[in-house]
Amino acid sequence: MSRKIKILNECSFSIENEDHTLLNPLKHVIDTHIDNIEFCGYTIPHPSEELAIFTVQSKNEENQNFSVIKRTINEGCDMIGMYCDKLINLINKV
């Protein structure tokens, strides 16, 4: 069994079976809500491949390491979860 996420370098990850639905909100929350991020983006090299490359780059080299980048992505995922929880609560109030 192959791994879904493979580390390409200290700031880029290949992610299988994900597309704009998850990656665009993740990019947005990291770009707008997490300090010390110089660049965050993703590319889907070819539409027929189920592969995306997600890249995060810190503003300073000291934070450009796997543990900081992993924490940044986790924080972004947590923020998306909070937005989803908020939406569910609003829907349940109707």
**What contacts 43, CB < 8 A, 6 or more positions away?**
52, 53
Provide the domain limits for residue 39: 5-93
Instruction: State residue 93's pLDDT score.
Output: 95
Confidence at residue 8, expressed as pLDDT on a 0 to 100 scale: 52
The residue with tokens 């796997």 is 66
Q: What is the CATH number of the domain that holds 58?
A: 3.30.1360.10
Rounded average pLDDT over 75-88? 96
* pTM score, whole prediction: 0.79
**How many separate domains does the chain show?**
1
Report which of 57, 64, 27 is spatially closest to residue 39, judged by C-alpha positions. Answer: 57
In degrees rounded to 5, what are phi and psi of residue 2? -90, 155
Q: Which amino acid is at 20?
A: H
